[in-house]
Amino acid sequence: MNEPASALHLWALDLAAKTEKRLTQGDFSVSGVELSRDGHWAAFRGRPTDRYGDERASELYLVNLETGGIGGIEKLTDNYVGEGTVSFSPDSRLIAFTADRDFTWGNLSRVYVRPVTGGSWRELGKGDERDMGLDFWSADGRTIYWNGDEGVNGNVYSLDVTSGAVRPLTGVVGTVSAARNREQETALLRLSDPHSPTDLYLTPAAKLARREGWVRLTRLNPWIDSLALGRYETVHWKAGDGTMVEGILVYPVGWDRARRYPLIVQLHGGPASAYENSFSGSYGTYTNVLAGKGYAVFQPNYRGSTGYGEAFQTAISGNYWPLAAEDILSGVDTLVARGIAAPDSLGMMGWSAGGHWSNWTLVTTDRFKAISSGAGVSNWISLYAQTDVQATRQYYLGGEATRGGPNKPWDNFDHWWAESPLRYIARAKTPTLLHSGEKDERIPMAQNLELHMALKQRGVPTEFLVYPGQPHGLQEPRYQLVKMVAEVGWFEHWIRGKPGWLDWNDLLTRADRIAGK
């Protein structure tokens, strides 16, 4: 059998006998190997070697390490969704994995389980409106635990392996996640809320539901106790079609109900993601910095977000902009009507999908004074060939992500162009700051080059920051600082009218000081 040079395969090495045995062959690359505790089984993901193959074309395989080997491998899946976690039960009798419900790309994630020795897959948690995961098993193998989201909070849930029943174990207003080493009976918890950075707790896995029994292990950032932070509020509003939408409002420090405040709208990426009640300590949101400078911050979980059921999450497939844009702007209208936001002092920022919607806002309304857009699309047609992931484009623009479906730009060129912000660039008026990682493969910086050139030629105030060597998310603290300082300066200048927007010498001096130079 001829195999491509890029194929990677699984081998077993007997350390005592100093012999080796090849276990797999074929036109795929092995990744994500998982071993059963009894040492008899290995599960792995076979990924395509084709340059244009994607995760949907990968499948799960099972090999008996004692009797298997080449010719003795069982192909566990045959679909087009890209499976998630695969795991063996502690007694090595069961194998489970996660995948989109009904093996249809974009649906909620489900857990599937069957005996290692064979049989039909059983779907656990049928009818539940949550994305399910597979983080660890109970010691007796009767329960699967996962860390999940519901609205603006993240909690720990369990699945009964026999009945498939779902049970919420924690109910924090914030985010908590659990992890367990398979050799230990205790679970390590990570807990955060709007006013508390992440700290670690320990509890017996069987007693996760009893918060009073959690033992606190760390207090990683006591400095936070000395700071004035913005108050968080979970807000709800009704979109134009009657759909209820949820999000988070962060009040400015020292909020006075008799005043209106400039409002920064922050749009999350994904779009299959959501804002939650966790501590805002990242360069992507930094709500406490903005609240300290007298801004209110609004984080809408628009349609397409996770944590609100499958219908809410999938509503924008094939109709990407209208519903989510309505959710975002009607949320802004609600805060204006409540007397919180000043209607003439609005700003918007987002990264990835958040950058997509920022760019769409740029060409569909002039009500915002300033926009900061990171890694956003300008032209869906050119992006399709530039990006490393076609599945999401086929799903959100093409309406579905089946193999061979009519879901590509050439199947409906007019639609893909009509959904591209660049198509409407003549309408753009809002001063816009653009950001790209030089090595971003997900939304390559060519997208911002197209947009920046068009804005410059149209006479719209714009600047374009390129972060050397950075991928889709900025990894270097120095560049994270640049992004934050530049962004705040952009808002201060265009919303509040302060002179200038960025002092490079001051910024570089601060960056060097932080780096210890």
- The pLDDT tens digits for 122-156 are 999 998 999 999 999 999 999 999 999 999 999 99
Mean pLDDT across 103-114: 94
Pair 55, 391: CB distance under 8 Å: yes
d(CA 416, CA 393): 10
Which two structure tokens, joined as six digits, stand for 470? 């950075």
pLDDT band at residue 511, thresholds of 50, 70 and 90? confident
Please state the φ and ψ torsions of residue 422, each to the nearest 5 degrees.
-60, -25
CB under 8 Å to 364, separation ≥6 — which residues?
325, 424, 427
Whether 2 has a pLDDT exceeding 70, the answer reads no
Q: Are strands 175-179 and 136-137 parallel, antiparallel or unpaired?
A: unpaired
- Domain locations in the chain as residue ranges: 11-221, 227-514
Contacts 24+ apart (CB under 8 A), 113-118: 113/161, 116/36, 116/41, 116/62, 116/88, 116/92, 118/74
Residue carrying the six token digits 């004074």: 369
Task: Report which secondary-structure segment, H or E, holds 232.
Answer: strand 232-238
> Rounded to the nearest 5 degrees, what angle is found at the Cα of 79, between the Cα atoms of 76 and 80?
135
pLDDT band at residue 79, thresholds of 50, 70 and 90? very high
pLDDT in the model for residue 70: 59
Percent of all residues in the chain with a pLDDT value above 70, rounded to a whole number: 99
pLDDT in the model for residue 65: 87
Pair 228, 248: CB distance under 8 Å: no
pLDDT in the model for residue 93: 97
Residue 453 CA: distances (Å) to CA of 192, 231, 430, 449, 486: 42, 40, 15, 6, 20
Considering only 235-239, 254-258, 380-384, 503-507, which range has the smallest mean pLDDT? 503-507
pLDDT band at residue 21, thresholds of 50, 70 and 90? confident
Q: Number of H helices and number of E strands within the chain?
A: 10, 26
pLDDT in the model for residue 512: 84
Query: Which of 23, 159, 25 lies closest to 89 in space, CA to CA?
Result: 159
Question: For the chain, what's the residue count?
Answer: 517
d(CA 279, CA 393): 31
Which two structure tokens, joined as six digits, stand for 226? 């000395």
Which two structure tokens, joined as six digits, stand for 185? 């009976």
pLDDT band at residue 71, thresholds of 50, 70 and 90? low
**pLDDT tens for each residue of 81-95:** 989 989 999 999 999
Pair 252, 295: CB distance under 8 Å: yes
pLDDT in the model for residue 415: 97
Mean pLDDT across 318-330: 96
What is the C-alpha radius of gyration for the chain, rounded to an integer number of angstroms?
25
pLDDT band at residue 188, thresholds of 50, 70 and 90? very high
**pLDDT tens for each residue of 469-483:** 999 999 999 999 999
Mean pLDDT across 24-46: 91
d(CA 8, CA 17): 24
Name beta bridge partners: 402.
none
pLDDT in the model for residue 142: 95
Helix axes 477-496, 504-514, angle to 10 degrees: 150
At the fourth CATH level, the homologous superfamily of domain 11-221 is: TolB, C-terminal domain (2.120.10.30)
CATH fold group of domain 227-514: Rossmann fold (3.40.50)
Whether 68 has a pLDDT exceeding 70, the answer reads no
Average pLDDT, the chain: 94
d(CA 198, CA 219): 9
Which two structure tokens, joined as six digits, stand for 59? 């499948």
pLDDT in the model for residue 317: 96
Task: Report which secondary-structure segment, H or E, holds 372.
Answer: strand 370-374
Whether 52 has a pLDDT exceeding 90, the answer reads no
Query: Which of 516, 514, 18, 32 lies closest to 283 in space, CA to CA?
Result: 514
Query: Which of 183, 179, 96 lies closest to 139 in space, CA to CA?
Result: 183
Mean pLDDT across 97-123: 94
- Is residue 67 left, alpha or beta, with left meaning phi > 0 and alpha meaning psi from -120 to 50? alpha
**pLDDT tens for each residue of 265-295:** 999 999 999 999 999 989 999 999 999 999 9
Q: In what order do the strands lie in the sheet with 109-115?
A: 86-88, 94-100, 109-115, 122-124
d(CA 369, CA 367): 7
